[in-house]
Structure 1
Amino acid sequence: MKKLASILTMTFLAAPAWAKLPLEKLKMPPGFSISVWAQVPGARSLAQAPDGRVFVGSRSGDKVYVVKDGKVQIFAQGLESPNGVAFKDGKVYIAEISSIREYDGSLAAKLPLKPVRTLAQKFPSDTHHGWKFIRFGPDGKLYVPVGANCNVCDPGKDYARIYKIDVNGTSKEEVAAGVRNTVGFDFHPLTKELWFTDNGRDWMGDDRPPCEVNRLTAVGQNFGFPYCHGKDILDPEFGRGKKCSDYVAPVVELRAHVAPLGMRFYTGQMFPAEYQNSIVLAEHGSWNRSTPQGYRLTFVKLNGSQVEKTESFIDGWLQGDLAWGRPVDVEVLSDGSMLISDDKAGVIYRLTYKVQR
């Protein structure tokens, strides 16, 4: 009996931290359910391999993790804000502040790994908005943003931009300018156009300016930062003598300070038909608004490339003025379910749908 009691006590003490998360407070449409899929410290950007492994970046730590069949391992460590992760052709790419490293992505590799090489292309070393989200485009190039090195300023030619690079060469092409800080983007499943979230500037009040979802229709377009915010708000300092009509307006104006990060087009078969080829994005949540907002998933319904509606999808990480979780990125699995990373709770959730009878 003493041995049994000891085993029960050890089991109780070993209960995972996520077991105490109040998942019942999350509100979502009928038929959807959410559970903890993995416990990963500071879980941020997500990328998956064809074999089902999921790579998980972190911003405040120095590690990138890999999750396979419920097992979490350190994939690489000793890195500087390794927020961005991408997988292509058996290789894993990790974005630090000023560089991108390539790793062996094979199943046989012994973890944790050392990088095979550092890519030739370099980026600024500023830590302000320096952490990166990266993703391969339909053209095979790796898309890499460089955020503004300030809250609001005229940052110069090397900042507030999105680039694409050839990982096997030295090319580095600017594809978009006037982008304050995007930490999430995806390519439309049909048109292959780049869509991205962008975080609005601070210190213009609780409700201005809006955060954004943008659509790139031509290489070289300028989205207005720091001169114009949202569709028609000139910056009180840098907007003098400018016109918002000279810049590309966002396709969606989100609420101010909600900090939209990861976004994906839903291409699975599990969710209802209205989600197909439409956007799910993570609002990480405000940090300097008198009444907090964000801390939720948002659904942007598209008809082709036209926005039909924008609405709350999953809400409840914010309770009153306190948040117990902060969603960061989303990723669609092969079975049609969706992963959601949360860097505050230190977990990855799995969202599923079952038809109601």
Structure 2
Amino acid sequence: MKYLPLLFCLLLAGCGQVNPPIKNPLKSASEELPIDRIKLPEGFKIEVFAKDITNARSMAISPAGTIFVGTRGEGKVYALKDTDGDFFVDEKYVLAEDLQMPNGVAFRDGDLYVAEVSRVIKFVDIENHLDQPGDPVVIYDQYPTETHHGWKFIDFGPDGKLYVPVGAPCNICESEEDIFASITRINPDGTGLEVVQHGIRNTVGFTWHPDDQELWFTDNGRDMLGDDIPACELNHATAMGQHFGYPYCHQGDLPDEKFGEGKDCADYIAPVQKLGAHIAPLGVEFYTGAMFPAAYQKQILIAEHGSWNRSKKAGYRVTMVTLDENQQAIDYQAFASGWLDEEEDEVWGRPVDLEFLPDGSMLVSDDYADAIYRISYRE
């Protein structure tokens, strides 16, 4: 009889500990990833912050320091904790499995929002239930079901609304439905859907300027026009309802060979900066921390995921776009590179998203090496 309570507890899936943290056995194992190949400006250092985060994509950090990580092909959502403050994750929770491309994650008022292809779900009071998150609440489930560019980056804007992009359902096409090739927004409860920006092929990263709170975003250029065109884009939305050219005009000055006939590129918003062709820019952030040198303050860092169909690979790095006082781009340079061996044309990592820790250091997720890195600076 004395074993019956234990047996009953096990049958009920672990005495309430349905989702215990997975202790990371790889403490101090940064040498297992070749981070010594990463080139950084003088004074910067890169370390492995988390390993074995399969297909680590978009990140969101709570005020308490929990890092939430979405995936694309894996179908999982993770929560990570550095409980001893040594900048290496020692607890990993799997919050959900078998979701459809749960790339996007956003945190607000204690709740975790996750974007799948056609819906946004919410895990309520998540940090108090990491070991037993329960079933999510469906916030909105009427986004298109097309999986081509269907994975989503999400974030809450300064207006308190959740911004959700809807990529073009193709490489290049003209859709009759206004919601495709756009950025939308909804209220936190899922009401009030509206399309706020148009002509965007596929953005998987956006942010807001720390001063005027205007929207900035990356966009992935179309394929099948050759190795060197069109350029991917860094864009700046100065008003609601602007059109950024897709599918009629690429990189601000290149009419599409089919859909650009009779169109004038001057009718659309040109990018602030042309990025490399096929480099797949994803995460984008303004640096506002106190750790990096003053030259980085309010400048733009971009995670370039890297090309998939270019004859010689390009991207696979983190870059910086420097802006002048009028928010015009005056420089575009590599900040962190080395995930691509350019001589051998071989890749060992692919940056996806950027987030900043409270000390001002930067996290970089990598869905190819299944890792998250921390980049810090010290004089």
Match of residue 274 from structure 1? 295
Contact kept in structure 2, 1:76 and 1:112, CA below 8 Å: no
Match of residue 186 from structure 1? 207
The reply on whether 1:286 has 2:307 as its aligned counterpart is yes
Match of residue 7 from structure 1? none
Of the structure 1 ranges 19-28 and 116-125, higher mean CA displacement relative to structure 2 is found in 116-125
Tell me, in whole angstroms, the C-alpha distance in 2 between the residues paired with 1:107 and 1:238.
Answer: 48
One-letter amino acid of the counterpart of residue 310, structure 1: Y
Residue 68 (structure 2) aligned to one of 48, 55, 60: 55
Match of residue 103 from structure 2? 83
1:122 Cα deviation after fit: 1.8
1:108 Cα deviation after fit: 2.1
Residue 122 (structure 2) aligned to one of 102, 111, 124: 102
- Go from structure 1 to structure 2 and tell me whether the alpha carbon gap of 1:303 and 1:76 turns closer, same or farther (over 3 Å shift): same
The reply on whether 1:324 has 2:354 as its aligned counterpart is no
**Secondary structure of 1:349 counterpart:** strand
The reply on whether 1:219 has 2:232 as its aligned counterpart is no
- Go from structure 1 to structure 2 and tell me whether the alpha carbon gap of 1:276 and 1:308 turns closer, same or farther (over 3 Å shift): same
Residue 58 (structure 2) aligned to one of 45, 48, 57: 45
Contact kept in structure 2, 1:18 and 1:345, CA below 8 Å: no
The Cα RMSD (Å) is 1.3
Match of residue 343 from structure 1? 367
- Go from structure 1 to structure 2 and tell me whether the alpha carbon gap of 1:287 and 1:139 turns closer, same or farther (over 3 Å shift): same
1:321 Cα deviation after fit: 1.1
One-letter amino acid of the counterpart of residue 348, structure 1: I
Match of residue 138 from structure 2? 118
Of the structure 1 ranges 102-111 and 250-259, higher mean CA displacement relative to structure 2 is found in 102-111
Match of residue 39 from structure 2? 27
Residue 66 (structure 1) aligned to one of 72, 75, 79: 79
- Go from structure 1 to structure 2 and tell me whether the alpha carbon gap of 1:18 and 1:98 turns closer, same or farther (over 3 Å shift): farther
Contact kept in structure 2, 1:76 and 1:114, CA below 8 Å: no
The reply on whether 1:207 has 2:228 as its aligned counterpart is yes
Post-superposition Cα deviations, 1:3-62, rounded to whole Å, max 9, x if no partner, equal xxxxxxxxxxx7688642111111110000000001111100010100000100000111
One-letter amino acid of the counterpart of residue 148, structure 1: A
**Secondary structure of 1:127 counterpart:** coil
Match of residue 10 from structure 1? none
- Go from structure 1 to structure 2 and tell me whether the alpha carbon gap of 1:351 and 1:110 turns closer, same or farther (over 3 Å shift): closer
How many residue pairs end up in the alignment? Answer: 342
Match of residue 8 from structure 1? none
Tell me, in whole angstroms, the C-alpha distance in 1 between the residues paired with 2:74 and 2:345.
Answer: 26
**Secondary structure of 2:266 counterpart:** helix
Match of residue 187 from structure 2? 166
Extract unaligned runs of 5+ from structure 2: 1-24, 83-88
Of the structure 1 ranges 152-161 and 228-237, higher mean CA displacement relative to structure 2 is found in 152-161
**Secondary structure of 1:254 counterpart:** strand
Tell me, in whole angstroms, the C-alpha distance in 2 between the residues paired with 1:289 and 1:171.
Answer: 40
1:327 Cα deviation after fit: 0.3
Match of residue 315 from structure 1? 337
Tell me, in whole angstroms, the C-alpha distance in 2 between the residues paired with 1:110 and 1:46.
Answer: 16
Of the structure 1 ranges 19-28 and 129-138, higher mean CA displacement relative to structure 2 is found in 19-28
**Secondary structure of 2:295 counterpart:** helix
Post-superposition Cα deviations, 1:172-206, rounded to whole Å, max 9, x if no partner, equal 11110000000000000001000000000001110
Contact kept in structure 1, 2:79 and 2:130, CA below 8 Å: no
Tell me, in whole angstroms, the C-alpha distance in 2 between the residues paired with 1:266 and 1:163.
Answer: 25
Paired-residue identity, %: 52
**Secondary structure of 1:255 counterpart:** strand
Tell me, in whole angstroms, the C-alpha distance in 1 between the residues paired with 2:33 and 2:47.
Answer: 10
Tell me, in whole angstroms, the C-alpha distance in 1 between the residues paired with 2:144 and 2:109.
Answer: 27
Tell me, in whole angstroms, the C-alpha distance in 2 between the residues paired with 1:287 and 1:111.
Answer: 37
Extract unaligned runs of 5+ from structure 1: 1-13
Structure-2-length-normalised TM-score: 0.88
**Secondary structure of 2:36 counterpart:** helix
Tell me, in whole angstroms, the C-alpha distance in 2 between the residues paired with 1:302 and 1:274.
Answer: 10
**Secondary structure of 1:107 counterpart:** helix
